[in-house]
Chains A and B, each alone.
Chain A
Amino acid sequence: MKSVMNKGILFLLICLVLLPSAVYAHGMFLELEEPGVLRAEYDGGGFSPRTEVTIYDEDGNELDKGLVDEEGKFHFEKSLDLHRAVAEDGMGHRAEYKKGVETKTIPKVPVVIGVFAVVGVIFMIQNKKVKQK
């Protein structure tokens, strides 16, 4: 039991160490497609017409707010000093865009394989214990 827990804690710690300080891709993306156009999209594609985008300046003052169009895009004045933008679909999905912050994605498949590998190790340890008994 102790060794299993230690392995689980070790795995979690490795995951935490591997996290650089960047904004990662998530359930919903918000990207600056071109000056004056932000695009909201779900991780698996598509968007909700209910998605509301709010843009802010460097001091956190709200500059503009509105729903996305039929292409999932939110248009605003190019002259606005966009520093941060938040998109919410009203279903609990939320995405954020920050000027100058790189958006990185972690490939899902290797992570899923890694998680199942940990499960495999847990099963092996348990089987060994059962055999020893």
Chain B
Amino acid sequence: MHLADGVLSTPVIIATYGASIASLAIGAKGIEDEDIPKISLMSATFFAASLISIPIPPTSVHPLLCGLIGIILGKRAALAFFPALLLQALLFKHGGITSLGANTIMLFIPAYISYLLYNKLPIKKPLIRAGLVGVVSVIMTVIILIILLALTDQRFAQGDFSVVKIAIVGHLPILIGESIITGFAVQFIEKNKPNWIK
């Protein structure tokens, strides 16, 4: 899911960097001391989880957790994604420096929508509500990935192995996994640390 260096066109790189800086500014505005541990824990969790590569032919995918991170951090989610993605790019070349903005935005938008959705959905049980949000967050991330690649080069959308088909097939298991993880994790947090989900 991480876009590597050299994949995106210059206009896409510039636009996504601008958007990611804006998302970081939104996240940092009004930040309080007690938010820092929560953000750092989510950042570390994302860092660790997204390093797990799962080969699903004809591609390789990894857990995203943007639904869970979005529900917990809301508008501050970019503050968790950005440093984790930066470290992954520097240490493991997962993603890249030029694509750092795009990767941040690709995760932040679904995360923030997940936060809004979790607070608006008229479902009482956190397990089901968060599980549903987990599914939606993966779909949104895949859609943004497709848009970013299609904006760069039309060939990504062509052929039997087009990015659209690969992304959808490759992320089906992730969709189910994320739904279960997000559902149970949020249920656990709602029971034990309800103040973490405002």
Q: Which residues of A contact B (CB under 8 A)?
A: 1, 4, 8, 12, 15-16, 19, 23-28, 42-50, 86, 88-95, 106, 108, 111-112, 115-116, 118-119, 122-123, 126, 129-130
Contacts and interface: CB of A to CB of B under 8 A. Distances in A.
Nearest to B62: A44
Contacts of A48: 57-60, 161, 166
A39 B58 CA distance: 15
Secondary structure type dominating chain A contacts: mixed
Contact of B59 (A19, A89, A119, A126): A89
Nearest to B152: A92
Interface residues of B, number: 49
Contacts of A92: 1-4, 7, 99, 145, 149
Contacts, number: 134
Contacts of B52: 44
B36 A126 contact: yes
Contacts of B7: 88, 92, 94
| Majority-rule SS of B interface residues | mixed
A27 B94 contact: yes
Nearest to B2: A27
Interface string B78-95: 000001001100111111
Contact of A116 (B5, B48, B51, B91): B48
Closest 6 CB pairs of A and B: A44-B53, A26-B93, A46-B55, A42-B60, A94-B4, A92-B3
